[in-house]
């Protein structure tokens, strides 16, 4: 009987139109759009060494020492071409220099575009002006200390060193794909919602027949939840596989653990929908609208539509990120990628399992307590 009911529930899930649309087709479409929109942004922002043209009008010891520090070594930040003003402008126009550093009484910057590299150059110029102010103050107050101040400032400029990142993929835009997987997981609530409403006599004819059946209600609920979790797990595996091997999104971390957290997240979505479906006497369509609305709101707060919203909430209302199941799911992918130890990752996994247990237990309690005067 159990196997028969489980097979029936699997077929029932596949008849749910929303399952095919939201959990199969939508991730493929949105994932492809994300890849087109964000696929090359991060790589275009990377740089190793910045070519600049340098025009000297007067001697400036502070600027000279800073340029020396930034252009020396095996992997310098800058490659400087010392030339006159006209040649520097031509190098800038030809794209052979990212900016023109004019060294006079102070350092000035000329660029032809905006972006990360001009921002870095502007920071260098700002730092140089700050150092010049510090040295002038030292000359005015204690001339004997000028050499010591210059030496310390030079040491500060040379303090930069290469550090190997812990992340397998430091691309900040991969968070959108994390949130896409989390959205697919939480949208599994529609299958859990069907399990709940299909076991309530006041919600559907199928529910009325099941409540008149000799088969224990617990069997229907158990097979329904297991069948929905199986179908949702297949959906999650297909989603991750498509993103990883077709779109070639580098999620970082262990692929097996990525599949594990995806499957558990899908089960969380099923349990969430089962819980919503068990509350109140509202018709299935109304509960479905509530489930979709709540799911999209949670996805928004996790960063699917606005990438920096999670950072804003971390400052303004950190408790939202701690209780938002979609944020917990996306954070688990982030922890798997960014941290070499799995302590934070397994903390998120435990939170997901707790949510599954709580939603399932509450859903069972609310569903089994329903009594009907007549069917």
Q: Where do the domains of the chain lie? A: 2-41+172-368, 49-157
The answer, yes or no, to whether residue 264 has pLDDT greater than 90, is: yes
Which has the closest alpha carbon to 157: 69, 80, 73? 69
Inter-residue contact 183 to 333 (CB < 8 Å): no
The answer, yes or no, to whether residue 370 has pLDDT greater than 70, is: no
Domain 49-157, CATH: 3.40.190
Percent of the chain topping pLDDT 70:
83
The answer, yes or no, to whether residue 159 has pLDDT greater than 50, is: no
pTM confidence score: 0.69
List Cα–Cα distances, 364 to 89, 117, 233, in angstroms: 73, 57, 21
The size of the chain, in residues, is: 375
pLDDT tens track for 36-93? 877 666 555 555 688 899 999 888 777 777 788 778 777 777 888 999 989 988 988 8
Q: Compute CA 101 distance to the chain's CA centroid, rounded to the nearest angstrom.
A: 37
Distance between start and end Cα atoms, the chain: 24
List Cα–Cα distances, 349 to 244, 265, 344, 346, 353, in angstroms: 21, 9, 9, 5, 6
pLDDT at position 262: 94
pLDDT at position 245: 92
pLDDT at position 163: 45
């Amino acid at each position: 009987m159990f196997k028969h009911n489980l097979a029936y529930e699997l077929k029932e899930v596949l008849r749910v139109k929303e399952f095919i649309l939201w959990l199969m087709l939508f991730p493929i479409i949105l994932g492809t759009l994300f890849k087109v929109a964000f696929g090359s942004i991060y790589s275009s922002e990377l740089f190793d060494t910045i070519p600049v043209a340098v025009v000297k009008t007067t001697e400036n010891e502070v600027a000279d020492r800073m340029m020396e520090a930034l252009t020396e070594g095996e992997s310098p930040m800058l490659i400087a071409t010392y030339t006159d003003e006209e040649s520097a402008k031509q190098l800038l126009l030809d794209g052979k220099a990212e900016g023109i550093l004019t060294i006079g009484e102070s350092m000035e910057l000329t660029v032809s575009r905006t972006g990360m590299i001009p921002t870095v150059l502007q920071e260098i110029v700002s730092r140089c002006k700050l150092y010049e102010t510090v040295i002038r103050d030292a000359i005015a107050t204690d001339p004997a200390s000028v050499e010591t101040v210059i030496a310390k400032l030079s040491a500060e400029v040379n303090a930069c060193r290469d550090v190997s990142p812990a992340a397998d993929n430091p691309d900040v835009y991969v968070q959108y794909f994390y949130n896409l997987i989390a959205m697919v997981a939480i949208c599994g609530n529609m299958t859990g919602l069907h399990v709940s409403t299909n076991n309530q006599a006041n919600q559907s004819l199928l529910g009325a027949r099941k409540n008149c059946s000799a088969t224990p209600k617990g069997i229907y609920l158990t097979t329904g939840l297991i069948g929905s979790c199986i179908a949702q797990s297949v959906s999650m595996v297909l989603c991750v596989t498509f993103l990883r091997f077709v779109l070639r999104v580098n999620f970082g971390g262990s692929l097996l653990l990525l599949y594990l957290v995806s499957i558990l997240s899908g089960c969380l979505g099923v349990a969430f929908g089962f819980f919503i479906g068990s509350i109140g006497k509202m018709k299935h369509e109304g509960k479905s609208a509530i489930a979709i609305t709540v799911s999209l709101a949670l996805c928004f707060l996790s960063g699917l539509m606005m990438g920096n919203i999670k950072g804003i909430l971390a400052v303004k209302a950190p408790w939202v990120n701690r209780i938002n199941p979609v944020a917990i799911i996306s954070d688990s992918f982030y922890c798997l990628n960014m941290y070499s130890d799995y302590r934070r990752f397994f903390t998120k996994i435990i939170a997901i399992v707790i949510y599954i247990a709580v939603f399932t237990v509450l859903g069972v309690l609310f569903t089994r307590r329903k009594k009907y005067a007549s069917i």
